[in-house]
Amino acid sequence: MQRTDYLLLGTFFTLDSQVQELDQLHLQVRLNSRHALYEGHFPSRPVVPGVCVLGMVKDVLQHHLSQRLLLRTCTSGKFLRPIDPFTMATLDLTVQYTPRNLLLDFVASIQHERHVLCRVMGCFQPYAT
Amino acid sequence: MTTRPLVGPDQVAAYIPQQAPFALIDTLYHCQPDEAWASLWVHPEHLMVQDGYLSEGGILESMAQAVALKAGYEARQQDAAPRIGFIAALKQAHIYQMVPVNHTLITHVEILLRAPDMLVVRTTSRYHEILVAHCEMRLFLEPEPEYVTLALIPTCHATH
């Protein structure tokens, strides 16, 4: 996949490191605190939009599997603390994925210095380009 | 929906804390204590658009901002500033259909539970009567901003 195939990877965040353990990915990601969307979310109070966490998980899996994905379901998403891209620029992202029929189930969480900031689970649908 | 909206694209920035380039709602048609209708015209250049479609995150964020617009409109009726709200939880969000650019995504908001700093809502979005997504959301509202911040919120700010 090309760089332009990603909505957020490469612009909103980048990957510092990635380790795979069976069906689980452990990544260290770096937020781009200068991304344009922070001008609007919110003016003078930058916070990572919760929906962008789902977008980050999607791009990480698209990149890892070299496969286009669509988010079909988020059965549960818990955003426990606002993520400030300036004070929490590097985050630990864990993504577990399991193929189920034609779908790809996922469970992901983001931590910063051992504090869990959010947890999301749901499924993606792979599609051909 | 051809009636004159309660809030249109050229006033919306005064009613919601989210601003361009991350504004994802532009019109409020109907607002009652327990429900509201709001919409977004999907601009082809919006940063949450990819390959000619509003991204999944863009759909979910438009739902959240529909709730913010309802809350901001009600706050303005009482001379209060819109409060910043965060998505605290998503439950059973299902996306059925993507929305192409240059179309209007219409979201219905139903309030399930209202607390001083928390809202639980059910949102359903469609375009051309096609079901796009539905979701249950819990939104955390920050405490009332100081009155002076009202003056800092632009009253006319293009969102496209």
d(CA A89, CA A112): 9
Task: Kindly indicate the confidence band of residue B147, based on its pLDDT and cuts at 50, 70 and 90.
Answer: very low
In the stretch 53-72 of chain A, residues with CB closer than 8 A to chain B read 54-55, 58, 70-72
* The CATH fold of domain A3-127: Thiol Ester Dehydrase; Chain A (3.10.129)
Neighbours of B89 (CB within 10 A): 18
Average pLDDT over residues B69-75: 94
**What is the spatial distance between Cα A112 and Cα A13, in angstroms, rounded to a whole number?**
15
SS3 call for B12 = helix
A37 contacts B23 by C-beta, under 8 angstroms: no
B residues 19-48 near A, CB within 8 Å?
19-23, 47-48
d(C-alpha B47, C-alpha B49), whole Å: 5
Predicted confidence band of residue B142 (pLDDT cuts 50, 70, 90): confident
Q: How far is CA B64 from the centre of its chain?
A: 5
Instruction: Determine the pLDDT at residue B145.
Output: 55
Q: Which residues contact B41 (CB under 8 A, 6 or more apart)?
A: B9, B26, B27, B102, B103, B104, B160
Sequence ranges of the domains in chain B: 12-152
Higher pLDDT, B150 or A50: A50
Q: Residue A87, SS3?
A: coil
Q: Does A39 touch chain B (CB under 8 A)?
A: yes
Phi, psi of A39, deg, nearest 5: -65, -25
Mean pLDDT of chain A: 95
Number of helices (H), then strands (E), in chain B: 2, 9
DSSP E strands in chain B: the ranges are 27-32, 35-41, 49-50, 53-54, 85-95, 99-100, 104-115, 118-127, 130-141
Predicted ipTM of the assembly: 0.96
Angle at the Cα of B129 from the Cα atoms of B124 and B131, rounded to 5 degrees: 40
DSSP symbol at B119: E
Task: Give Cα B137 to chain centroid, integer Å.
Answer: 12
Residues of B in contact with A71 (CB under 8 A): 56-57, 95
Q: Per the CB < 8 Å rule, is B48 touching A45?
A: no
* Cα–chain center distance at B141: 14
Structure pTM?
Answer: 0.92
Residue B152's pLDDT is: 47
Q: Between A37, A76, A79, which is nearest B91 by CB?
A: A76
Q: Tell which residue, B160, B154, B127, B123, has the closest CA to residue B23.
A: B160
Q: Does domain B12-152 have CATH number 3.10.129.10?
A: yes
